Chains A and B, each alone.
Chain A
Amino acid sequence: MRFFRKTNIDFMGKRHLWYTVSGIVILVGMISFFVKGPHYGIDFLGGTEIVVTFQDAVPISTVRAAMDKIGIGKTAEIMTFGSDKDILIRTSTQGEGSSIGDLIRGGLKQEFPSNPFVVQKEDKIGPKIGAELRLNAIYAVFALLIAIMVYIGFRFKFVYGIGAVASLFHDVLVTLGLVSLFDGVLNLELSQNMVAAFLTLVGLSVNDTVVIFDRIRENQKIFRNMDLITVINKSLNETLSRTIITSGTVFTVLLVLFFFGGEVNRGFSFTLLIGITTGTYSSIYIASAIVVEWALRINRKAAQHK
């Protein structure tokens, strides 16, 4: 059974079109990101977050009224968490120990005396930790990008390292933008789990890029006289089958996680779904394309010197 018989698509020929597409997607995403602002969860802002399950469904407006009464209505985020009986309340107001949590629970008891609730989850993060986690997340992303650039520059040629890191940057920006866009439809606030998702998508994207680079490296050794663009196109076509199958498998697995993995995993799997798609795309149209552009520049320089 084959999905693809021998293909001969001119990937690199159409690359300028795809540069534009990428540019537009990133632009739209970044506009959303800067207009809406980054939606930090309490991991990064500090504060208190509590998830409760009521016996009967409650309208969010009433919950907000209850929160107004205890004084945090203006800063509190209130949303459903799965079903409409599960309510998530989050506020960045700080209090001693668990006083905000107590305050919220007391307020809810007063507002809904005949509708008992169970606390599913309660988190309280002090302000110092929030700032630290934010810093750590940024360090982690940079550490990863540098490590990857070094490793690939070392195993292949330096320009491949640049290409790989450029494609990763692209992936992070696209995903960040789309996450910001869809935030509201789903609970996509930036938390530690989300950072893990971003770092994972970087890893998976590089995984994909490396397989293609490996094939290019091999073909270059075999077809020494072929020009680089042809070699790259050939390699892309040869690896197409594997790329689609593997990405498809990961995508399917993530889809399963998205639908059945529980509310906690939803943001995580959504991010990765976007990530794996752009990761596959960027291996071709960013990473390999950069190598092509570089090769063209070298050619032009060589032609000038002649």
Chain B
Amino acid sequence: MSNYKGKLVLIGIAVALALWLLWPTYRDYQISSQLKQLSGTDSLQFVEKHETQIREYKAKRIKLGLDLQGGMRVVLEVNVVKMLEDLAKNKDDVFTQVMNEVAEEVKHSEDSPVKILRAKFEARNIRLSRYYGSLRDDNDKVASSLEDESKKAIDRAMEIVSNRVNQYGVSEPTIQKLGGQRIIVDLPGVSKESEVRQLLQGTALLEFKLLKDPEVANKVMYAIDQHLASIDTTGDLATLPSDTSAQALAADTMAAATDTGAAATSVDSTKINTPEGELTPSEFAKKHPFFSLAMSIQQYPGVAIVEQQNRDRVRRLLDREDVQRLIPSDMEFLWSAKPDERLTSGGKKYFILYPVKKAAELTGGVIVNARATIDPSFNRPIVEMEMNSEGAREWARITGANINKRIAVVLDNSVFSAPNVINKITGGRSQIEGMDNIDEARLLEIVLKAGALPAPVEIIEQRSVGPSLGEDSIRGGVFSGLLATALVVVFMAFYYRVAGGVADVALVFFVLFLLAALAAFQATLTLPGIAGIILTLAVAVDANVLIYERIREELATGKTMRAALDTGYKRAWTAIFDSNLTVLITGVILYQYGTGPVQGFALTLIIGILASMFSAIFITRVMFNMLLDRFLTVIDIG
């Protein structure tokens, strides 16, 4: 007589626990379907009435991965090298050169950027304290404080990103750290991708950079132009200015660039008069591949004007290695964030290309407050910024030293405005202009207030799934699961008769426990996860098959039913244990090395193996004992 009563109670408790764990998922599903049928104010009222309930159910239910519910996942990486650049003082040419080397090496090395930086300076016999910390600090002290800063940077970045995401209002976002330098942001249900990208990509690295003097800038652009013309034998690079006004601009370009003062005039729409004689537009484009795209006009000295549709081409030209070599190492080209309001000839939009000094004079870490408002004197939206005392001091020094020069306000490597410094600014207040409307100003305010990141953050991975693909995937997954289960159930009943039926009942328990465990662990169900469930279903069946085949063998040697059952279970156990353990090891390794959906798969594999062992061995055994005690003397096992 086996005391299966105790075991029955245990199973009963397990089932009750499982149902309790799955209750939120069920209710959440119910509520969502109800909501779909209501509309407008009805649905709003419904949500208000059941608000706490809804939130609770959402928190405790089985989470669906992004590949099932649609949404976006972004992996951000903190650019420590840039941070190290910004933290330094007294930056000179040597510094810039060393930083360039560090940036290159970081791409290939596993060492921390601080370590690499230190090695490079020590190789040149330069003390770190020349650029960081106070003069008396030795290299160890400086290095460790820099390492500290970089660790804090990622933490701050996480805070800031969560801040922004929460302010923006995504439901159930997940933000996690990954390793030492990365942040994963999951945004379920996000459909306005472009806005979110702007929010996250807009990592609010605010910098103030000096514009290069017009003579220097023009010389560089001229050099680029000549170089491209000389290597361009096939005329591929030539792009025609698209209309007469643009051609006129192009003509101005030549005058400005070669500084001859000869005002080139457009004779007619087919020829451009330049210091080199009359040229047709195509000849002009061939001779000046850069200037025909990045035009320079007298009203905007020292910068280039680019038509919106030509921006990518110019970008690609500037990215070329041979062109990069022509740009001095302390200079870079930055684009305006938006098309210029005042340049709208012929209905076209023009962006401005600014040549700036690479090293920032001041970074946004000194901003303590930002406010979107309307500038009363010009009636346009602006964002007012307030700096801390250190920032105010630096700002006064910088503006004082650069009167009549232009300083660009750079947000995430886009120039928002580049006002002229009229006088020294004390008190630390400044303004950003250039927004189209007050909403844009407010978005900028959020971005600035939620913090200027101490280090810029790059998007290194980005995946988004539309909701309809998600629904299809769920439907396909559920259907496959049901069909597979049905086939297995039918087979077991046919092949193993009553015993097969027992195994089938155990399968039901298995699925129940599996889902409950997923809910309990707050695991995320992904599409590979569904595949994992289906797979562990087969493994669960394997355990039963092992046991039943053994029982059949024992019966063939003439044992009684009970004896055969006992031996069967006992002998099969070692095989089940070893084989399931190896699949478990596989699951653990997959979990360790995988990311996202693969981890979801690994988790369902692990949970599935454990649940299958419980139901295939324990539950079937109890059922058999019950049957033999109460109803049958022999169990038909086929």
Interface assignment of A84: CB less than 8 Å from any CB of chain B? no
Q: Shortest beta-carbon distance, B311 to chain A, in Å?
A: 10
Interface assignment of A128: CB less than 8 Å from any CB of chain B? yes
On whether A119 and B466 interact (CB within 8 A), knowing A246-B545, A252-B484, A253-B488, the answer reads yes
Contact A262–B590 (Cβ < 8 Å): no
Interface assignment of B566: CB less than 8 Å from any CB of chain A? no
Complex Cα spacing A129 to B181, Å: 13
Count of A-B contacts judged by CB separation below 8 Å: 210
Per-position binary interface string of chain A over residues 260-275, scored 1 when its CB falls under 8 Å from any chain B CB and 0 otherwise? 1110110011001000
Contact A2–B638 (Cβ < 8 Å): yes
Query: B134-142, B289-297, B576-584: which one contacts chain A?
Result: B576-584
Chain B, residue nearest A126 (CB): B460
Complex Cα spacing A211 to B577, Å: 10
Mostly helix, strand, loop or mixed at chain A's interface? helix
Q: By the criterion of a CB under 8 Å from any partner CB, how many residues of chain B are at the interface?
A: 73
A126 neighbours in B (Cβ, 8 Å): 77, 458-461
Contact A193–B598 (Cβ < 8 Å): yes
On whether A155 and B578 interact (CB within 8 A), knowing A257-B531, A260-B479, A268-B531, the answer reads yes
Query: B372-380, B416-424, B468-476: which one contacts chain A?
Result: B468-476
Contact B595–A261 (Cβ < 8 Å): no
Q: Which of A210-261 touch B at CB < 8 Å? A: 210-211, 213-215, 218, 238-239, 241-242, 245-246, 249-250, 252-253, 256-257, 260-261
A195 neighbours in B (Cβ, 8 Å): 594, 598
Picked from A144, A206, A253, the residue with its CB within 8 Å of the CB of B589 is A144
Residue from A120, A147, A148 with most neighbouring chain B CB atoms (10 Å): A120
Contact A120–B582 (Cβ < 8 Å): no
Interface assignment of B275: CB less than 8 Å from any CB of chain A? no
Interface assignment of B99: CB less than 8 Å from any CB of chain A? no
Contact A196–B583 (Cβ < 8 Å): no
Contact B549–A202 (Cβ < 8 Å): no
Contact A148–B464 (Cβ < 8 Å): no
B583 neighbours in A (Cβ, 8 Å): 203-204, 206-207
Residue from B463, B528, B579, B580 with most neighbouring chain A CB atoms (10 Å): B579
Chain A, residue nearest B474 (CB): A262
Complex Cα spacing A123 to B473, Å: 17
Per-position binary interface string of chain B over residues 103-120, scored 1 when its CB falls under 8 Å from any chain A CB and 0 otherwise? 000010000000000000
Complex Cα spacing A99 to B593, Å: 29
On whether A256 and B484 interact (CB within 8 A), knowing A121-B469, A129-B461, A265-B476, the answer reads yes
On whether A199 and B589 interact (CB within 8 A), knowing A207-B582, A253-B535, the answer reads yes
Interface on A for B, CB 8 Å cutoff? 1-2, 51, 53, 97-99, 103, 118-126, 128-129, 133, 136-137, 139-140, 143-144, 147-148, 151-152, 155, 192-193, 195-196, 199-200, 202-204, 206-208, 210-211, 213-215, 218, 238-239, 241-242, 245-246, 249-250, 252-253, 256-257, 260-262, 264-265, 268-269, 272
Q: A126-B460, A129-B75, A252-B488 provided; 16 other pairs, C-beta below 8 A?
A: A120-B466, A121-B465, A122-B193, A123-B461, A124-B461, A129-B460, A147-B585, A192-B594, A192-B598, A199-B586, A207-B582, A211-B579, A239-B549, A245-B549, A246-B546, A264-B67
Q: Which 9 A-B pairs have the closest CB atoms?
A: A203-B586, A262-B476, A126-B460, A140-B593, A120-B469, A214-B575, A250-B538, A207-B579, A246-B542
11 cross-chain CB contacts under 8 A = A97-B197, A119-B464, A122-B464, A125-B461, A128-B460, A144-B585, A151-B582, A210-B578, A242-B542, A242-B546, A264-B527
